[in-house]
Amino acid sequence: MSFFKKLKEKFVKGPESEEEKEDQKLNETEGSDEKENSPETDPAESEHQELDLQGETETLETEVPAEDTEEDTLESTVDEEDDQNVENLEESFPEEEIGAESQEEDEKASIASKFKMGLAKTRNSFSTKINDLVARYRTVDEDFFEELEEVLISADVGVTTVMEMIEELEMEVKRRNVQDPQKVKEIISEKLVEIYYGDDRAEEIEGLNENPGGLTIYLFVGVNGVGKTTTIGKLAHRLKSEGKNVTLAAGDTFRAGAIEQLEEWGKRVGVNVTKHSEGSDPAAVIYDGIQSAKSKNADVLICDTAGRLQNKVNLMNELSKVKRVIEREVPGAPHEVLLVLDATTGQNAMSQAKTFSEATDVSGIVLSKLDGTAKGGIVLAIRNELEIPVKLVGLGEKVTDLETFDAHAFVYGLFADMIEEYEEEEELS
């Protein structure tokens, strides 16, 4: 099966059968009736009521109410409706799995549309260049590959990765005896995914590691202004909406306003924030954060840190002290050391990644502001040249704009228009 077709089957929800549409209609009516009769509850608020304030003396810990934003409220309503629909489907067809399947399809389609929207800038620039290139060539020759090389480099894919990719493309084109430049588009998309995963299996490098038996700790590192605090807020929101008990530790005691900014996010999302005063020892804040998380039986603790790059030795000392505390308090932790990089800074992000991975063991990258760049190819450069997987991507400023990185969805986002065009061509022939 063609690769574009595979992507479409994976991410685009197929046309529903008449029978399924009928069922859907029925469930929607039943769902809305029940909703009208049930009192409106705010899940974040009810959780907040269950939480207990810790009477700690030295640590300033804030218990914060959930101030739902418009999107939050909208999302919880949608979630309730979805849950309701699935429940109803299960009641009508207890032995069938239609509800679960269609929910999975919906989720995949929504992930794909988020990647499609978030990658609009990259796609517009990338596909315009690729379309222009294939339109100008009658056959796939050496000059074609040279120009393709330039297009990929201009999308920040990274020189080493581009070279590897061009070599593989040339071999593949020869092997399949492809003459028509139009057909190369699909092979490019296939190779992007192959290069991204390399020898690893997707499930080995996608998603965040967890501690199944206890407290999961994520340590966030990165320079100021890359979107670290926003990302921590978005992740806390996401984990909380998955039903997890989340707490934060304000370990960036260096930057003025960093603690207040994290507190704001804590309020917005409805999670606790452990903090000390500005200028205090970050390792001490993290220590208190762990004790607080343990006492509350929290599932996840997300730790912020300061990102001073001026002095690598200082950075290294600070991060290793924080890590030592975490390792001592929770064996096996931190479960991820996530480096946040701003996708819009291009090659600068690459050099930050190099510095941080020399200072500490970075287990994954969070690429923020991918929606703000036309050079989304940086994802491949990071993965391939630094051998660190991209775990999460920021695709916008909303609290829900954080996605687990998925190379197939990424490539779908890059080639969405071409996939649609390709289908039309197929249908015509």
Ligand X SMILES: Nc1nc2c(ncn2[C@@H]2O[C@H](COP(=O)(O)OP(=O)(O)OP(=O)(O)O)[C@@H](O)[C@H]2O)c(=O)[nH]1
Which residues are annotated binding-site positions for GTP? 222-229, 304-308, 368-371
* Closest by CA position to 51, among listed 248, 285, 245, 218: 245
Does 225 participate in binding ligand X (rule CB under 6 A)? Answer: yes
In the bound state with ligand X, the residue whose beta carbon lies nearer, of 186 and 318, is 318
Does 66 participate in binding ligand X (rule CB under 6 A)? Answer: no
In the bound state with ligand X, the residue whose beta carbon lies nearer, of 240 and 369, is 369
Residues 6+ apart with CB under 8 A from 219: 303, 305, 322, 323, 326, 334, 336, 337, 338
How far, CA to CA in Å, does 282 sit from each of 11, 278, 375? 43, 10, 35
Does 228 participate in binding ligand X (rule CB under 6 A)? Answer: yes
Give residue 372's Cα distance to chain centre.
15
Does 348 participate in binding ligand X (rule CB under 6 A)? Answer: no
In the bound state with ligand X, the residue whose beta carbon lies nearer, of 231 and 241, is 231
Does 16 participate in binding ligand X (rule CB under 6 A)? Answer: no
Number of residues in contact with ligand X under rule CB under 6 A: 20
Minimal distance, residue 125 CB to ligand X, in Å: 17
Scan residues 384-423 and list those touching ligand X (CB under 6 A): 394-397, 401
The binding site consists of 222-229, 304-308, 368-371
- Specify whether the CB–CB gap between 259 and 275 falls below 8 A: yes
- In the DSSP assignment, the letter for residue 101 is H
Among 253, 368, 373, 384, binds ligand X (CB under 6 A): 368
Does 274 participate in binding ligand X (rule CB under 6 A)? Answer: no
Does 255 participate in binding ligand X (rule CB under 6 A)? Answer: yes
Window of 16-24, 42-50, 200-208, 252-260 that interacts with ligand X by CB under 6 A: 252-260
* Residue least distant from ligand X (Cβ): 394
Spatial distance between the Cα atoms of 28 and 253, rounded to a whole number of angstroms:
50
Minimal distance, residue 364 CB to ligand X, in Å: 16
* Closest by CA position to 185, among listed 198, 196, 172: 172
Strands (E), 110-243: 216-221
Give residue 142's Cα distance to chain centre.
37
Among left, alpha and beta (phi > 0; psi -120 to 50; other), residue 253 is alpha
Among 112, 140, 173, 226, binds ligand X (CB under 6 A): 226
Binding residues for ligand X, rule: CB under 6 A, are: 224-230, 252, 255, 258, 307, 368-369, 371-372, 394-397, 401
